[in-house]
Amino acid sequence: MVGGPYYPVRLGRKDSLVSDSSRVGASLPTPAMTMDQIIDKFTSKSFTIREMVALTGAHTIGFTHCKEFSNRIFNFSKTSEVDPTLHPKLVAGLRKVCQNYTTDPSMAAFNDVRSPGNLTMLISKMCLKGWGY
């Protein structure tokens, strides 16, 4: 569908007999976590770092709600309006897309702005140049 590998996956939960949204927060990494914290989160669930990279890489397809990264493009710090690690053109685009995110919580931006509908290695190269958030 998006150019990546295909393998069959059986449907259904394998980690629990119930689906409870209140348990999600404790199980998933957040944008505010350090890489060490993210690695700890995955290894505590018996994932290897290689598996963690594959799983998180698959999430470059899709979008992220503006509220999840707004702190990096609006009022970042006392000395900088935006996160200086982000490419200025990316910031300009994200600020335009997310300008009304506080009144419309459904506002979102594509994770991979160059090839949003395809599984590519481009996202990793883009992140190294400040094009990831």
HEC secondary structure over the chain: CCCCCCCCCCCCCCCCCCCCHHHHHHHCCCCCCCHHHHHHHHHCCCCCHHHHHHHHHHCCCCEEEHHHCHHHHCCCCCCCCCCCCCCHHHHHHHHHHCCCCCCCCCCEEECCCCCCCCCCCHHHHHHHCCCCC
More confident residue, 83 or 19: 83
pLDDT tens sequence across 26-69: 888 877 788 899 899 999 989 998 888 878 766 667 788 999 89
Q: What is the pTM of this model?
A: 0.62
